[in-house]
Chain A
């Protein structure tokens, strides 16, 4: 049973560019959450997708957008990259929208460096 997978593993971009990160959830999961983890910090919630819609959003600008596909995989898009967007981007999957779900399963992350 494959866990959460993310691609690419590493990425280097320059300021002003756009980037797309991808995530495939754990088998049987239908909810995908994205987190940003800057160096030395804990992960911060960006947004969550369920049934192909953004269900909840953290305190991130509109430059950060996403999408969920019918197979539950997801993309995170960041436009007009800033140096401060350099971070590890983590994807987490879970099942359903009930509060009784056990835990989120995290992928290995995509390391983004903006020069």
Chain B
């Protein structure tokens, strides 16, 4: 059974810092990995999707890397801003199912001005 772990569980940084969020998964036979953002009490917004054949994806100040063999992904946020404050969730989609996702518990990020 696939398990996804995210470290740290919470992170508080001052504005402007570069930061790294970590995600690990137990079964490397994944189809893709996705990073989501969730604002309090809200739904999920997809940030980046990395296919299993890719090593990284970039969108603006966000960069996500994938090392499938070691079961790890990192989300790098450059020059953090207060508006980045949210919970960041990592999810993997493996080959055994259809389009269902297995999520980690998330990293709660607070960026202070």
Contact = CB atoms under 8 A, between A and B. Distances in A.
B90 to A, nearest CB: 8
Contact of B105 (A41, A97, A106, A107): A41
Contacts, number: 67
Interface residues of A, number: 31
Contacts of A35: 101, 103
Contacts of B89: 42-43
B71 interface: no
B34 interface: yes
Contact of A42 (B42, B93, B99, B103): B103
Nearest to A9: B41
Interface of A: 4, 31, 33, 35, 40-45, 48, 50, 55-56, 58, 88, 90, 92, 94, 97, 99, 101-109, 111
11 contacts: A33-B99, A41-B105, A43-B44, A45-B100, A48-B100, A56-B98, A90-B43, A97-B98, A104-B99, A105-B46, A106-B45
